[in-house]
Structure 1
């Protein structure tokens, strides 16, 4: 039997079927030495009872009830309570493959890695988005870890689909009071501290896409937390060898953010804030970052700077997906 893995599941009024599927997938994992920390973030009494039911039926489940304070607080409380050598996060409406924990645990131990990253499937109401994967593993070490975070999509922004050494996770935290991109900020902290990580290009996590999720919310004001955290990441980079790459991360993602908000129908109040972000991009961009931007993003930069009306029209024609 391997070392204990703490599986942290934040719950807030999750539909009964989804929560059942989630916890069932974790408890039926081929890797059985786990503790499942269900953090109930002030759910209604029915969901709270459902959580308690899992604890009553399986000794590996522990329920932590807290007043509603948001997913970041719930995850941070889970981290503080974790007794395992490793931590993984599973959102309450998602599921994991039966061999995810075993596979990630083996990769972590074999490579003496600080954390392991796998890919995920996008599960829609009636379908699963099919993507091409190589099933290859890649080891990233030292300064290349945070560079990869800034410039590539290998590591990703989500805290799920990762197995993390608890000793590392306890040195980081999710930013409380933020409603979007809190995962990204947490992952960035991990990358800054890690010495070695492993990325496997195979999906073991099933991410449910639904219209009630945070990223599908119609309240656009919350998404400005994303823009603020992108800027905090850039300004938080103190290593001179990474500052240009961090600046490229800022430029790349703030332009994407402006486009995303316009595509989602940002109103005039939002547009004023988007204009402020646009001005920051142009005032605080080192010319050397262009080597790290795709041709498409360079074109968007120029359109946003010299032909903002055209940028706006093109953005309105897009779907507003958060995936790029």
Structure 2
């Protein structure tokens, strides 16, 4: 089917209603896959948004209930007739074990039971805007083997303000260069859209359960497989923040180790030497986290703090080497590229960004952000 879908209107709803019959003949165009656990308070808003998608291809909703103890499955079943009347097939399954098996497991199950050629990932607590499926479907034709994202509206307004600004403002190039930052995937998981073939090549999601960053693991594996990242530069999702979100179960140390390993694999393995920009806590932590081979590549730390610079060196006290490694600490203007930047973005009133710009460096060649 052509990527240039028409908008859904009252006159052509009958055409869209052929969706369930299309499923009998073969694969659908798009499966909206939704893992679900105790989401009843959010489902009505999210399901109505799926109902109002203006995409005219064949479409289904595939829900897997990960042992909910509320009436989540009943709520979804209550929408079946309305969704199917609009040509959106509905597949619902789940399990009733004593404990949920985790979001990675539920995502894999929702995908396995679906049949769309493309997958639109949808969290049960988020709300998609009417044009989401159509625009991301169109983008997927232009960007094969790619995780497609979009801009988001964060609710409640003002929650995770820096993170939301980062999601919505990084450039297409930075979707690739900033994959090592602590924010995680540069296109956030609730906005993902990709072909089923690409999921099958990269996946499945890690099913380790609570505390496992299955989205970041999949994201990095996608890049390892030669995949790319792209974003529809429109807000297509209302992205909800709340304390019960599964992301809160993942520890910072788990994410840190994954990021360090990926940085060493993709960047540091290609460099003969480099400078760590930050002689403070985060820079020293990165140094200590590196392999001995990559520690030897660190030619200096750099900073703007005169106290750190005046000390002259950072001594790696935990090292078993004798004498212990002593790494010079320089002013950033006296240091040389390439750099790993261990200063948080958007936290210094623009000072970090101005300093970087003054050196006329190219992100992705002369430096990468790690924090």
Would you call these one fold, judging by a TM-score over 0.5? yes
Runs of 5+ unmatched residues, structure 1: 260-274, 299-323
> Structure 2 CA distance, aligned partners of 1:276 and 1:291?
19
Normalising by structure 1, what TM-score? Answer: 0.66
What per-residue deviation string (whole Å, max 9, x for no partner) do you get for residues 292-320 of structure 1? 4236269xxxxxxxxxxxxxxxxxxxxxx
Structure 2 partner of 1:265: none
Structure 2 partner of 1:173: 204
Structure 2 partner of 1:61: 90
In the TM superposition, what is the alpha-carbon distance from 1:128 to its structure 2 partner? 10
In the TM superposition, what is the alpha-carbon distance from 1:111 to its structure 2 partner? 4.5
Correspondence for 1:159 among 189, 197, 204: 189
Structure 2 partner of 1:39: 64
> Structure 2 CA distance, aligned partners of 1:111 and 1:297?
30
In the TM superposition, what is the alpha-carbon distance from 1:5 to its structure 2 partner? 0.8
Runs of 5+ unmatched residues, structure 2: 3-27, 301-336, 346-370
Structure 1 partner of 2:127: 95
Structure 2 partner of 1:124: 156
Q: 1:131 to 1:195 in 2, by over 3 A?
A: closer
Normalising by structure 2, what TM-score? Answer: 0.58
Q: 1:242 to 1:26 in 2, by over 3 A?
A: farther
8 Å contact 1:114–1:194 — kept in the other structure?
no
Correspondence for 2:47 among 5, 16, 23: 23
8 Å contact 1:137–1:201 — kept in the other structure?
no
Structure 1 partner of 2:338: 291
> Structure 1 CA distance, aligned partners of 2:206 and 2:166?
33
> Structure 1 CA distance, aligned partners of 2:184 and 2:167?
12
Q: 1:110 to 1:190 in 2, by over 3 A?
A: same
In the TM superposition, what is the alpha-carbon distance from 1:83 to its structure 2 partner? 1.1
User: Alignment partner of 2:179: what SS?
Assistant: helix
User: Alignment partner of 1:29: what SS?
Assistant: coil
CA RMSD of aligned residues (A): 4.3
Q: 1:243 to 1:23 in 2, by over 3 A?
A: farther
Q: 1:52 to 1:127 in 2, by over 3 A?
A: same
- Taking the TM superposition and a 5 Å limit, the aligned residue runs for 1:132-211 are 138=172, 149-150=179-180, 156=186, 158-171=188-201, 172-178=203-209, 179-195=211-227, 197-211=229-243
In the TM superposition, what is the alpha-carbon distance from 1:9 to its structure 2 partner? 0.8
Bigger mean CA deviation after superposition, 20-29 or 187-196 = 187-196
Q: 1:131 to 1:278 in 2, by over 3 A?
A: closer
In the TM superposition, what is the alpha-carbon distance from 1:62 to its structure 2 partner? 0.9
Q: Considering fraction of residues, name the structure with more strand.
A: 2
Between structure 1 and structure 2, the one with the greater Rg is: 2
8 Å contact 1:118–1:200 — kept in the other structure?
yes
In the TM superposition, what is the alpha-carbon distance from 1:40 to its structure 2 partner? 0.5
Bigger mean CA deviation after superposition, 146-155 or 107-116 = 146-155
